[in-house]
Amino acid sequence: MRPEDIPVVRNLPLFADMDDRRFDELVKAALLQTFPPQVDLIREGDPADFLYVLVEGAVELYAGHNGRETTMAVIEPTSAFILAAVLNDAVFLMSARTFLPSRVMMIPNEHIRRCFAEDKAFAAAVVAELSQAYRQLVKQHKEIKLRLAAERLANYLLRQSQARGDPTHFKLPAGKGTIAALLGMTPENLSRAFGALSAYGVRVRGGSIHIDDAALLADFAKPTPLIDGVEEIYERRGVKSIGP
């Protein structure tokens, strides 16, 4: 484990309030591995032996069934993923692959579960993280059931433009194929949806998005905090998490 990574992980909401000694134990038990792009980290159906923390790079959570495949989430540093599977001591429901060169910390399942049982602050952080992940997923599920493809894209673009610095200009965090799957459509359909949004001031140049007039786009997108809102229990120091 590179020493400069430790404070970054330490500052994650999940670990920030935990006992010092216990955190050191976690770190000692953890593996830190570096992976090239397009490597499968976990496969749905496998037992959840480790909690994963993405320290650097980017990871896609995806799931397949019966010849089809879809993206469930795009993870950016620094954040933990597949926490629920570990706590439940169950199999993964999603697969994960890097799509950039990535550094990943892997903490053995039993350590997480022991910390949870013994460290009150950690337990509280786990609940906060879980309930937030749950609510995030409720929003995703509402979105896919209540919005058409072009509306999903429009709102996604608005959310991204808020989450990243400049509200008028940003880069997509993944290739368009992945974004399409995340938003529950085919790449072809995403292209056409972008075409439809040009009427509302959306300019696309490769992975670069420019939004001429957020109010005009919002007029079409009809965002609502009950689907598009970002919630933070903690102050999130240095944490970014990219949902759809």
Contact call for residues 189 and 149 (beta carbons, < 8 A): yes
- Among residues 76 and 129, whose Cβ is nearest to a second copy? 129
In the numeric block, the tokens 């909401």 are attached to 13
Binding site for DNA (CB under 7 A): 148-150, 175-177, 184-192, 194-195, 204-207
To the nearest whole angstrom, how small is the minimum distance from the Cβ of residue 183 to a second copy?
Answer: 10
- Among residues 103 and 139, whose Cβ is nearest to a second copy? 139
Reference 239, options 10, 12, 3; nearest CA is 12
CB atoms within 10 A of CB 243: 19
Separation of CA 158 from chain center: 17
Reference 96, options 140, 158, 47, 41; nearest CA is 41
CA dihedral 156, 207, 8, 116 (to 10 degrees): 40
Question: Given the rule CB under 8 A, which of 49-57, 58-66, 156-164, 190-198 is the region that contacts a second copy?
Answer: 58-66
| Interface of this chain with a second copy, residues 105 to 164, rule: CB under 8 A | 116-117, 120, 123-124, 126-128, 130-135, 137-142, 144-147
- Among residues 85 and 96, whose Cβ is nearest to a second copy? 85
Q: Where on the chain is the footprint of a second copy (CB under 8 A)? A: 44-45, 63-66, 68-70, 72, 83-85, 87-88, 90-91, 93-94, 116-117, 120, 123-124, 126-128, 130-135, 137-142, 144-147, 184, 222, 224-227, 231, 233
